[in-house]
A and B are shown apart, each in its own frame.
Chain A
Amino acid sequence: GESVGLHLPTLSVQEGDNSIINCAYSNSASDYFIWYKQESGKGPQFIIDIRSNMDKRQGQRVTVLLNKTVKHLSLQIAATQPGDSAVYFCAETSMNTGTASKLTFGTGTRLQVTL
């Protein structure tokens, strides 16, 4: 599959508020999903992942929700900080045992944290 981003939606939140970033994925056969953070001029950084046998997973200040019925992912960031400002991408794939599989990236959302 391919993901082509023609524009980058922006979410502005105030420091200390919670952020919710949404993503619609395309392949119903995908069973592994990852959220990445990308700062300007850098490569993607892993944030959190979730497998299709789960609908929620929590990390430190982040929570990922998966709704397979409507093929929707969300990333929730609690108490958003200025350092959270970046572009966030979801990615989907099918897991192969013992090997990395190719990822299909979503369009991305730019998160701007205002003081």
Chain B
Amino acid sequence: GAVVSQHPSWVICKSGTSVKIECRSLDFQATTMFWYRQFPKQSLMLMATSNEGSKATYEQGVEKDKFLINHASLTLSTLTVTSAHPEDSSFYICSAGGPTSGRANEQFFGPGTRLTVL
């Protein structure tokens, strides 16, 4: 149980285009979802926290107009990287948590999405 998926697993796009990444909780209701970014050989950096039906809370230094997060349902959150540039190339990981996961205080991680901006 408590499985989180991400789509796509990898994406290559041209500079200036927008890319949408989906995060789904497959077998529980995700009342809270988190988006992380991880550069090579570095740790996970929290970008934002989203609660279903509410606006996302962004961490300091993360541009909310560039990284659009939508959490419109209890099983889906999306991260849209707008006007992507090569420096946005990274590994984007989502996690989800909720009371019906069986472990209410924990978050379960997706497999990540590798974004490469040319």
Contact = CB atoms under 8 A, between A and B. Distances in A.
B59 interface: yes
Interface residues of B, number: 31
A25 interface: no
A3 B105 contact: no
Nearest to A3: B43
B69 to A, nearest CB: 14
B98 A106 contact: no
Interface stretch (A52-60, A75-83, A95-103): A95-103
A42 to B, nearest CB: 6
Nearest to B111: A43
Contacts of B95: 43, 100
Contact of A99 (B45, B60, B91, B97): B97
Nearest to B94: A43
A4 interface: yes
A101 B105 contact: yes
B42 A8 contact: yes
